[in-house]
Amino acid sequence: MFTSNPFSEISGLISPLAMQAYVILMVLLVAGGTVLDMIHKQSAKYFFKNAEKAKTRATRKVSAVKKVSIAVTTVAVDVLASGEFCNQRRRVAHLLTMYGFILFAATTAIMIFGYLRADTPVMLPLLWHLGALMLCGGGYWFWFYIRVDVAAEGNPWYRVIPADLFILSLLATGTFALLWSFFQAVGATWLSNLFFVLFIFSATVLFGGVLWSKFAHMFFKPAAAFQKRVAKADGSRDGLPPPADKPEQFGLGIKRLQPRNY
């Protein structure tokens, strides 16, 4: 199971050209959905308008070298290490899901475009299965144990809202991929075909539902994090209200009470 290319095994039923066309279509759906999301929510307009406002409040000039340094820090801390998460459990779950998805998606594309008619290096299917397992591990951990609304508002774990489309379709894609590979390996043909169809359906929902899910959000987070660091460097954030959790540091005379157990 872990050392075989599942796409190569099914290439006798589905032509390589059809599989490659499907991957290209999913990429186009993500790009188109992201653009439509920007137009619908006016995310880009708001981002640039906010950046222009920040420039008018700036008290220091940030050099090009400094901006490059900020960009590198943003990529290293906010993107690669998910530094925006203060909760360590949530950060680990997010990193598992993120790197699992990247590994899973990258090896899928490589195996479909490069090894449908050739011997697949053992490392590729190993990484494909590892990526799916990481994706599922981080995603299910988040869904069942970390979701904020469950802990804070007392909602059941099965409560679903439109914003959950991304995580649910992502989990379904990883889960059905693993089940498809397993039943293909043990020779259960009809179960293998069933989970392959479910895998394709969930992947289509994942990549085709960008406009209604949080998928496009991942493209804006790095830009927002970069702008936040630039604003801090040029002083445009200096005049903003104090953080809600530490108002006493700014002479407001407000102290947060310690929680008491009854």
Segment 181-204, tens digit of pLDDT: 999 999 899 999 999 999 999 999
Grade residue 2 by pLDDT with cuts at 50, 70 and 90: confident
- 78 DSSP 8-state letter: I
What percent of the chain has a predicted confidence (pLDDT) above 70? 75
CA angle 226, 99, 104 (to 5 degrees): 130
Which segments of the chain are extended strands (E)?
A: none
pLDDT on residue 158: 72
Phi, psi (rounded to 5 degrees) for 26 = -65, -40
Lowest mean pLDDT among 77-86, 107-116, 179-188: 77-86
Do 245 and 256 form a contact (C-beta atoms < 8 A)?
A: yes
Residue 100 has pLDDT above 70, yes or no: yes
Name, in order, each residue with C-beta under 8 angstroms of 90's C-beta and a sequence gap of 6 or more: 142, 146
Contact 71, 226 (CB under 8 A): yes
More confident residue, 93 or 221: 93
Provide the token pair at 164: 């959950």
Summarised one tens digit per residue, pLDDT across range 177-187 is 999 999 999 98
Answer yes or no: is pLDDT of 251 > 50. Answer: no
**Gap between the Cα atoms of 22 and 172, Å rounded:** 18
The alpha carbons of the chain give a radius of gyration, in whole angstroms, of 23
CA distances (Å), origin 214, targets 34, 166, 177, 223: 10, 6, 22, 16
For residue 47, name the pLDDT band (cuts at 50, 70, 90): low
pLDDT, the chain, mean: 80
> Residue 249 has what DSSP assignment?
G
The pLDDT-based confidence of 262 (bands split at 50, 70, 90) is very low
Per-residue pLDDT at 9: 84
pLDDT classification of 51: cutoffs 50, 70, 90: low
Query: Which among 123, 118, 117 has a CA at the least distance from the CA of 103?
Result: 123
HSE at residue 32, side-chain half, CA atoms within 13 A, is 9
Q: What percent of the chain has pLDDT over 90?
A: 36
Categorize the per-residue pLDDT at 116 as very low, low, confident or very high, splitting at 50, 70 and 90: confident
Q: How far apart are CA 220 and CA 120, in angstroms?
A: 36
Predicted local confidence at residue 245, as pLDDT: 47
Q: Which residue has the higher pLDDT, 47 or 166?
A: 166
Tell me what the mean pLDDT of segment 193-218 comes to: 85
pLDDT band at 63 (very low <50, low <70, confident <90, very high): confident
209-222 average pLDDT score? 70
Place of tokens 């949530």: 90
